[in-house]
A and B are shown apart, each in its own frame.
Chain A
């Protein structure tokens, strides 16, 4: 929208310094980016673990929020942003998993792609992180949402419940179910016996 049109519509907010008229109805997007951006970037980084993917998912989140029907502001911006971010990140993760699966099928007799040679010690941290991401991507949506919000975004049960629109007790139950599933999957992936 051009500057003159925005002014005539009476929906402008002039920041003065740059002399650019900003649509008042969308300024909340910038405010949301300032308030929740750092948290969302942290969350995306923990889910995806690749900086390019983080930027893509973050961009997608704000693109969706900027193109909501009638450009209306959601009632709970934080909840909307966290849910959208989680959904986008998990779909990227699932897509990545599918691509990996297809590629490994294409290459006959393919070896695991992770280079484990540089991990001489018994704790393969990168491998473990990737295993966790892979297992989270395989969880049913209602369980992966809880794990992502409670364990990766470090939100409390109450906050996660508020974002998901369920009760805190239900979040607890889902989390336990998710951890049990993750444990069985991570255990199955483990070739050697785990020793602590």
Chain B
């Protein structure tokens, strides 16, 4: 009876399909790297996939003229009924221009809000004594390190190390 042998190319192909938009698992990453180095078919397949992704990105980033939306709206409105064609809403559509998204439009205001929130957080931390607590932790850590060096390397070496 034949036993089913694992085909590394098939494994790469199957696992590759689940990777879209996610990060590589370290073990699979090293397996993939090793396999692709020695398998020209998988190498080519992967390069072609990259080529497609690259082409999609290029297509997405291709700019068009600013008045395209208004031209398209005008063309569409001209085919509608008279009553729709001459409504005030239609007039506004004829002059429509592509607008940036909500986040981009409100970016300056959002930045101010986030800065203010960060300042408030810092003030709260100072008020609560969190920063002094962190300083205490740091000093304790330094003492532990000093004692460790003093025990293993000697007092002089420990002093030198802590000063540097």
Q: Which residues of A contact B (CB under 8 A)?
A: 1, 3, 6, 15, 17-18, 20-23, 26-27, 29-31, 33-34, 37-38, 41-42, 44-46, 49, 51, 54-56, 58-59, 61-63, 66, 125, 128-129, 131-133, 151-152, 154, 172, 175-176, 179-180, 182-184, 186-187, 190, 194, 196
Nearest-Cβ distance from residue A25 to partner chain B, whole angstroms: 11
B51 interface residue per 8 A CB criterion = yes
Contact with A along B36-51 (1 / 0, CB 8 A): 0000000011011111
Inside 8 A of B45's CB, which chain A residues have their CB? 183, 187
Nearest-Cβ distance from residue B48 to partner chain A, whole angstroms: 4
B52 touches A30 (CB 8 A): no
B72 touches A41 (CB 8 A): yes
Would A184 and B48 be within 8 Å (CB), given that A54-B68, A63-B79 are in contact? yes
Would A128 and B55 be within 8 Å (CB), given that A38-B98, A51-B64 are in contact? yes
B59 touches A46 (CB 8 A): yes
B112 interface residue per 8 A CB criterion = no
B31 interface residue per 8 A CB criterion = no
Would A58 and B76 be within 8 Å (CB), given that A33-B93, A129-B55 are in contact? yes
Nearest-Cβ distance from residue B104 to partner chain A, whole angstroms: 14
Our count of residue pairs bridging A and B at CB distance below 8 angstroms stands at: 156
Inside 8 A of B47's CB, which chain A residues have their CB? 187, 194, 196
Would A20 and B83 be within 8 Å (CB), given that A45-B62, A129-B62, A175-B20 are in contact? yes
Inside 8 A of A179's CB, which chain B residues have their CB? 20, 49, 52-53
Inside 8 A of B75's CB, which chain A residues have their CB? 55-56, 58-59
A37 touches B17 (CB 8 A): no
23 contacts between A and B (CB under 8 A): A1-B82, A3-B83, A6-B83, A17-B88, A22-B83, A22-B87, A26-B83, A33-B73, A33-B77, A37-B73, A37-B96, A46-B59, A55-B72, A56-B75, A58-B72, A58-B75, A59-B76, A128-B54, A128-B58, A132-B59, A133-B59, A183-B49, A183-B51
B69 interface residue per 8 A CB criterion = yes
Nearest-Cβ distance from residue B88 to partner chain A, whole angstroms: 5
Please name the 8 residue pairs, one residue from A and one from B, whose CB atoms are nearest each other, closest first: A187-B48, A183-B48, A132-B55, A62-B76, A58-B72, A176-B17, A59-B75, A55-B75
A45 touches B64 (CB 8 A): yes
Residue of B nearest to A176 (CB): B17
Residue of B nearest to A62 (CB): B76
A23 touches B96 (CB 8 A): no
Inside 8 A of B49's CB, which chain A residues have their CB? 179-180, 183
Residue of A nearest to B56 (CB): A151
Would A46 and B62 be within 8 Å (CB), given that A41-B68, A41-B69, A51-B71 are in contact? yes
B56 touches A187 (CB 8 A): no
Pick the contact of A176 from B20, B50, B59, B99 — CB < 8 Å?
B20
B106 interface residue per 8 A CB criterion = no
B164 interface residue per 8 A CB criterion = no
B10 interface residue per 8 A CB criterion = no
B81 interface residue per 8 A CB criterion = yes
B83 touches A1 (CB 8 A): yes
B86 interface residue per 8 A CB criterion = yes
Pick the contact of B60 from A15, A37, A152, A182 — CB < 8 Å?
A152
